[in-house]
């Protein structure tokens, strides 16, 4: 497919330019800068003196790290399934680490799909299967979110989900602003998921036709070529996956549930390390992360750097010991974000050399 070949970068130097040291340093500087500002401006020495370092503290922090490992293992398992076992367990580790690295150095709204497609193609997946894996991964992640939100509203009301969040936005200083922003984001993600589902399983050509018509509007015409490529990707992906058996989807979505649940449980474990909570409070902590994710989706900074630390302190301060919320935000990012920057930076040049890509 000509459009696919144009999209597939084959020059290692171009890849490295997109993920240069400067792009690794930027999110570190932003994230640590914001975290340092929060720590210094809200520092309470008494809060740290009150910490009781026990075996329970070590257990919960250790469990938080294990949750990150479970998340990665679930992603590795999912990519072996989505690739039809063409990517083995051994090869899935660098693939997932590089994918996460790309996401960590890109704005959240962009993600790491371009590098992911390149990696999969270089791992001997043909163009169609590479596109199918990337699109299906995105679809399953969004489907998890679309299904999880109604479930949390069954058990947790609006007041517990959105209370004390008026500081998160500066729109009008009200809880309602966050509430409505969340639902706009949720409806957008739901619409996207339904469109991708229709394109992958029913009629991708009709979606391409709609995209081309939409982006023929004068003020949208500059993105018409990109819309055409997206339509072509959906047609290619549909041919690859629409005949997959039920077991394929059960295992893939099961791995998706495990990966996202483990990702969210990292915060629960870190908070439990310093302040014990009952089942309902832990459920609220877990649920509020769905709200946080909506805001992070529109973050313009690499990997949500800076913004992630701020919204952590706003959304979860009432569950943290007094004076420790900023430290917990930093600890959360040290466990769940920064490792991917350094692992990816270590793996990428070696992976390019192993694949004999000119760098």
DSSP notation for 281-346:
HHHHHHHHHHHHHHHHHT--SBTTTTHHHHHHHHHHGGGSPTT-HHHHHHHHHHHHTHHHHHHHHH
CA 266 to CA 269: how far, in whole Å? 5
Residue 22's pLDDT is 66
Contact 116, 173 (CB under 8 A): no
Q: What string of pLDDT tens digits covers the 359 residues of the chain?
A: 334 443 444 445 555 566 666 667 877 788 878 878 777 777 677 666 777 788 999 999 999 999 999 999 999 999 999 988 888 888 899 999 988 888 888 776 656 676 777 788 788 777 778 878 888 998 999 999 999 999 998 888 888 887 644 455 444 444 457 788 888 889 999 998 998 888 888 888 888 888 788 778 877 777 788 778 778 888 888 887 888 888 999 999 999 999 999 999 999 999 999 988 999 999 999 999 998 888 888 777 888 888 888 889 889 988 988 888 888 998 999 999 999 988 888 888 888 777 665 54
Tokens 């200083």 sit on residue: 173
Residue 36's pLDDT is 80
Contact 161, 42 (CB under 8 A): no
Residue 10's pLDDT is 43
Residue 144's pLDDT is 95
Residue 269's pLDDT is 97
CA 289 to CA 126: how far, in whole Å? 36
Facing residues of 107 across strands? Answer: 302
Residue 65's pLDDT is 96
Residue 16's pLDDT is 58
CA angle 242, 97, 334 (to 5 degrees): 125
- Those residues with Cβ within 8 angstroms of residue 283's Cβ, 6 or more apart along the chain or in another chain: 152, 155, 156
């Amino acid at each position: 497919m000509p459009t696919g070949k144009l999209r597939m970068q084959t020059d290692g130097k171009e890849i490295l330019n997109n993920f240069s040291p400067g792009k690794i340093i930027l999110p570190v500087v932003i994230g640590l800068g914001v975290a340092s500002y929060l720590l210094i401006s809200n520092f309470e020495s008494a809060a740290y003196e009150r910490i009781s370092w026990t075996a329970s503290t070590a257990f919960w922090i250790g469990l938080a790290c294990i949750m990150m490992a479970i998340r990665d293992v679930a992603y590795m398992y999912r990519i072996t399934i989505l690739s039809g076992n063409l990517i083995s367990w051994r090869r899935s580790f660098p693939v997932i680490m590089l994918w996460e690295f790309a996401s960590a150095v890109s704005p959240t709204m962009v993600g790491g799909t371009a590098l992911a497609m390149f990696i999969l193609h270089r791992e001997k997946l043909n163009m169609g299967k590479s596109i199918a894996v990337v699109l299906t991964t995105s679809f399953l992640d969004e489907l998890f979110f679309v299904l999880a939100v109604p479930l949390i509203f069954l058990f947790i009301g609006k007041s517990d989900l959105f209370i004390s969040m008026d500081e998160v936005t500066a729109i009008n200083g009200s809880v309602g602003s966050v509430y409505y922003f969340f639902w706009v984001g949720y409806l957008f993600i739901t619409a996207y998921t339904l469109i991708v589902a229709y394109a992958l399983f029913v009629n991708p050509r009709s979606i391409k036709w709609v995209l081309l018509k939409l982006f023929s509007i004068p003020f949208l015409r500059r993105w018409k070529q990109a819309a055409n490529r997206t339509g072509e990707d959906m047609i290619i992906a549909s041919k690859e996956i629409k005949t997959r058996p039920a077991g394929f989807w059960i295992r893939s979505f099961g791995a998706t549930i495990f990966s996202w649940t483990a990702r969210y449980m990292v915060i629960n474990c870190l908070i439990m390390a310093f302040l014990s909570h009952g089942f309902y409070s832990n459920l609220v902590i877990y649920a509020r992360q769905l709200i946080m994710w909506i805001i992070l989706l529109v973050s313009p900074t690499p990997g949500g750097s800076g913004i992630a630390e701020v919204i952590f302190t706003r959304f979860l301060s009432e569950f943290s010991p007094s004076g420790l919320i900023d430290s917990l935000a930093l600890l959360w990012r040290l466990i769940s974000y920064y490792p991917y920057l350094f692992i990816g930076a270590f793996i990428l040049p070696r992976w390019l050399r192993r694949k004999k890509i000119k760098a």
